[in-house]
Amino acid sequence: SLDDDMDILKGGLRTVTKTDDVAEFKKALTDMRGAAEDAKTQTPDKLKGQPSDSPEMKDYHAGLDKLIGQIDSSMKLADAGDLAGAKAEAKKFADTRDENHKKFR
Ligand code: HEM
């Protein structure tokens, strides 16, 4: 469910904020990416009853794609051994969350 996906995002965000272990960091990003992809297949309660191609649904998908893009940027840095850079990128996740929760939660 969308709630399950959001719980995974929440746990992942906590891990990437706290850990200094690259393997744990990357595992959390991978879990977050999967949850964000699954969330794209779900419909928020606020948008229930809307066609899947409504402007609001497109905007909802774009919000998740933005998060996925940030996750991928962070993963690239982690892969390159730049954990500090990866963590700086991960700081942006919370902005994307807040911005989209305002609209869709
Ligand atoms: C790292 C980023 C994010 C975190 C940590 C996060 C976390 C959460 C949490 C903890 C909840 C409450 C879940 C519950 O009821 O059990 C929630 C709800 C929700 N979130 Fe997120 N979220 C994130 C990003 C996003 C994004 C990018 C979107 C949309 C583009 C989004 C849309 C929603 C919606 C629509 C709900 C309400 C559930 C519903 O309508 O059924 N979230 N989120």
| Ligand 1 atom 34: residue of nearest CA | 105
Exposed, middle or buried: residue 44 (CB in 10 Å: 0-12, 13-18, 19+)? Answer: middle
Q: What is the mean pLDDT of the chain?
A: 97
Cβ 17 vs Cβ 90: under 8 Å: yes
Candidate from 17, 73, 105 with most ligand 1 atoms within 8 A of CB, to mutate? 105
Could you give the C-alpha distances from 66 to 21, 47, 69, 91, in angstroms and in order? 25, 19, 5, 14
Q: Which of 44, 96, 101 is nearest to 67 (CA)?
A: 96
The structural domain count of the chain equals: 1
- Evaluated on CA atoms 34, 60, 76, 3, the torsion sign reads negative
| Ligand 1 atom 11: residue of nearest CA | 6
Q: Dihedral angle at the C-alpha atoms of 10, 41, 70, 30, nearest 10 degrees?
A: 60
| Segments forming the whole domain that contains residue 79 | 2-104
What is the three-state SS of 42-63? CCCHHHCCCCCCCHHHHHHHHH
Candidate from 2, 3, 6, 48 with most ligand 1 atoms within 8 A of CB, to mutate? 6
Q: What is the CATH number of the domain that holds 28?
A: 1.20.120.10
Per-residue pLDDT of the chain (105 residues; tens, 9 = 90+): 999 999 999 999 999 999 999 999 999 999 999 999 999 999 999 999 999 899 999 999 999 999 999 999 999 999 999 999 999 999 999 999 999 999 999
